[in-house]
Amino acid sequence: MPTRPLHAVFARSPLPHAVALCSVAMSLGAQAQGFIEDSHANLTLRNYYLDRDYQDDGAKSEAREWAQGFILKFQSGFTEGPLGFGLDATGLLGVKLDSSPDRSGTELLPVSPSSGRAADEYSRLGLTGKMKIDKTLLQAGDLNLALPSALSSPSRLLPQTFRGGYLTSSQIDGLTLHGGYVDRIAKRNSSDYEAMTVASPNGRFNGRATTSHMAFVGGDYALTPELTLKAHYLEVADLYEQGYLGALHRIPVGPGTLSTDLRAFFSDENGSADAGKVDNQHLSLQFAYGLGGHRWTLGHAHQGGDTATPYISGTELMGISEMTMSSDYLNARERMWQAIWDYDFAAAGVPGLTARLRYVRGDNIELAAFGVDDRKEREAQWEMGYVIQDGPLRGVGLRVRQSFYRNDFPAGAAFRDENQTRLMVTYNLPIW
């Protein structure tokens, strides 16, 4: 996508501006106890390499880029009194380390649609005002959402955020209420806010249709220490609406713990239905058993109705297929199975080292835009991560993820046969 010159967004980068904002906040805090006393700031460094090696006969044989991200966050405390006020600021900067027009498009960096060339750098500054009364918090401005139907994507160089207002309340013990209204999205590889659209891989919906806003309400209730129930509703004006019901139950079984995770999404078109027909019931059930450092997971998801599951482009849906690398497994009528093994090596005396093996398979897929059905896809994935525990590099995190994805989709489909590799080095530096 085309990007404005950096001077049109910030003078050079958002980092000096965020620092200046923190200085202003400190001067304000001198007049308001708690604003600064409870504040903190940190800088996260994220070095990210992503390589898609396509295994089909498509026009592009690979997408491979390397970039460095800087995430500077300031979070204030609240002014004293029954009604407290605060201010948060996030400065984001992404810098290209390696890319070229013939292999751009990993979504680590913005790309010009005319030349295919990735931007040398991109940046933005997010400001969030906040107001707190007892256990009720109102935020306005740049928002990071973690809703079942709208998860701010953390899976690239810089985080994806929304613009709007968000109210959370935990006045009743065990119950957290959510409500909000957002009108723009800042995607993970963009400097600007833009109108929201529905994700449309494989031509599922009209991905060009935009919405004026998204509104949501919901609640999470810990009925018992072992059982949490969730109910949420989201409306994306003139595109679609989506209800969500979920239940998470944990109980000791033998020497370990058994978790049962039930999630259900119910989606229909909304208003003028500019994205086209929406008719989907997404049901999933997942069991996980944890013992020592091991965790074994088995899950199944079933798509009912005539269309795929809708979600906002640039975000992620919190289904059980979340955090897969090469597909979303949300196609119309798809039946998805997955098996996961996680291991924390702290149980074996190596703290900071973790591993995962994952296999995902989907079948009975209908791709209406291509006039085909009964298609299949599968993905084998492994990853390892390590956070250095001692020495001068203490706190540096290293992670490698790799997947091998195959399907029998027709040529031109969004998800292509590929071998994908991601390498990440992260470091979080507390400033105060």
Residue where a domain terminates, one of 122, 157, 188: 122
Residue 58, domain member (yes or no): yes
Co-location of 165 and 86 in the same domain: no
314, HSE (Cβ side, Cα atoms, 13 Å): 23
Co-location of 259 and 343 in the same domain: yes
Co-location of 116 and 149 in the same domain: no
Report how far residue 54's alpha carbon sits from residue 355's, in angstroms, rounded to the nearest whole number.
25
Co-location of 106 and 192 in the same domain: no
Residue 364, domain member (yes or no): yes
Co-location of 109 and 159 in the same domain: no
pLDDT-above-70 percentage for the chain: 92
Total domain count, the chain: 2
Q: Do residues 216 and 237 touch, judged by C-beta distance below 8 A? A: no
Q: What is the pLDDT of residues 249-274, one digit of tens each?
A: 999 999 999 999 999 999 999 999 99
Co-location of 220 and 254 in the same domain: yes
Co-location of 267 and 344 in the same domain: yes
The CATH number for 201's domain is 2.40.160.10
On the question of pLDDT at 19 being above 60, the answer is no
Residue 129, domain member (yes or no): no
What per-residue confidence (pLDDT) applies to 20?
42
Co-location of 321 and 222 in the same domain: yes
Model pTM score: 0.90
pLDDT-above-90 percentage for the chain: 88
Q: What does the block give as tokens for 29?
A: 């805090």
What per-residue confidence (pLDDT) applies to 345?
98
What per-residue confidence (pLDDT) applies to 196?
98
- Alpha carbon 422 to its chain centroid, in Å, reads 16
On the question of pLDDT at 132 being above 80, the answer is yes
- Alpha carbon 100 to its chain centroid, in Å, reads 26
What per-residue confidence (pLDDT) applies to 36?
86
On the question of pLDDT at 149 being above 90, the answer is yes
What is the extent of the structural domain holding 408? 134-430
What per-residue confidence (pLDDT) applies to 23?
44
Co-location of 77 and 211 in the same domain: no
Question: Mean pLDDT, to the nearest integer, of 230-245?
Answer: 98
Lowest mean pLDDT among 17-31, 66-80, 230-244, 272-286: 17-31
CA dihedral of residues 389, 392, 397, 402 (deg, nearest 10): -100
Instruction: Work out the pLDDT band at 325, boundaries 50, 70, 90.
Output: very high
Co-location of 68 and 208 in the same domain: no
Instruction: Work out the pLDDT band at 142, boundaries 50, 70, 90.
Output: very high
Q: What is the pLDDT of residues 83-130, one digit of tens each?
A: 999 999 999 999 999 999 999 999 999 999 999 999 999 999 999 999
Co-location of 47 and 154 in the same domain: no
What per-residue confidence (pLDDT) applies to 59?
81
